[in-house]
Amino acid sequence: MKFFVDTANLEQIKEAHNLGILDGVTTNPSLMAKEGIKGQEAVIEHYKKICDIVDGDVSAEVISTDFEGIVKEGEALAALHPNIVVKVPMIKEGIKAIKHFSNKGIRTNCTLVFSAGQAILAAKAGATYLSPFIGRVDDISWDGVDLIDQIVHIYATYGFKTEVLAASIRNPLHIIKCAEVGADVVTAPLSAITALLKHPLTDIGLAKFLADAKKFA
Ligand code: E4P
């Protein structure tokens, strides 16, 4: 399973990269706005900085919602760096654009996915990645991990090449549950990734080993 970090914060991206287990980064307009990035030039520069840190896929989201606009924006983003993956919303114009990008060899991440039906359409259009938002599904009292399970099963049944990228991860258990049902990728906040490190028995065991080591130091 690939690990992406879900942030536009350069310090957090560096920290995740330094762990040695990072395969990529996902961003979205909300995450970019959180970093105080303003203006198209600043956005472009920020994506370049992320690509300089991480040798892996970096999702950059379009903000147009019409076919021509998505294509123009997506082609410009893809030209920035070979690792850029164009993030396209799950709307009718987005599906058309994903098909267009797929024909041109431009990689895509279909975002804002909340159903198996949407997942089938994105795979048919040739999306490289599919981002079901499991935390937001949980927020409305449905089961986000069940959605991942359903999509993984459908894709395996038909041999779709689209990778299931579990997004909107809120905690370490989401990561573990997504691994259990066979998500290809998880994109998570750094806090959820580092929370995987934690276990009280590890801390207790290490404290005992270090105390005993002093006896023969
Ligand atoms: C990633 O691709 C998504 O944009 C992100 O995971 C959404 O997460 P949120 O529901 O916590 O905003």
Q: What are 98-112's pLDDT values in tens digits?
A: 999 999 999 999 999
Whether the predicted pLDDT of 24 surpasses 90: yes
Of the residues 3, 4, 5, 6, which should be mutated to test ligand 1's pocket, given the most ligand atoms within 8 Å of the CB? 6
> pTM for the full model?
0.96
- What pLDDT score does 22 carry? 98
Mean pLDDT for 134-146 is 98
- What is residue 164's predicted lDDT score, i.e. its pLDDT? 98
pLDDT tens for each residue of 162-191: 999 999 999 999 999 999 999 999 999 999
DSSP 65: -
Beta carbon of 6 within 6 Å of any ligand 1 atom: yes
Strands 108-113 and 129-132: parallel
- How many angstroms separate the CA atoms of 86 and 69, rounded? 13
Q: Averaged over 30-44, what is the pLDDT?
A: 94
Nearest-atom number in ligand 1 for the CA of 135 is 10
Reported as a pLDDT band with limits 50, 70 and 90, residue 204 is very high
Identify the pLDDT of residue 181: 98
Known catalytic residue: 48?
A: no
Assess whether pLDDT exceeds 90 at residue 134: yes
What's residue 60's pLDDT? 98
pLDDT at 91 over 90: yes
Mutation choice for ligand 1 from 28, 62, 85, 129, CB with most ligand atoms inside 8 A: 28
Helix, coil or strand: residue 198: coil
pLDDT of residue 217: 82
At residue 58, the pLDDT reads 98
DSSP structure string for 20-50: T---EEE--HHHHHHTT--SHHHHHHHHHHH
CA distance 210 to 147: 44
Domains of the chain: 2-196 (3.20.20.70)
**Burial (CB count within 10 angstroms: exposed 0-12, middle 13-18, buried 19+), residue 187:** buried
What mean pLDDT do residues 151-161 have? Answer: 98
Mean pLDDT calculated for residue range 18-39: 96
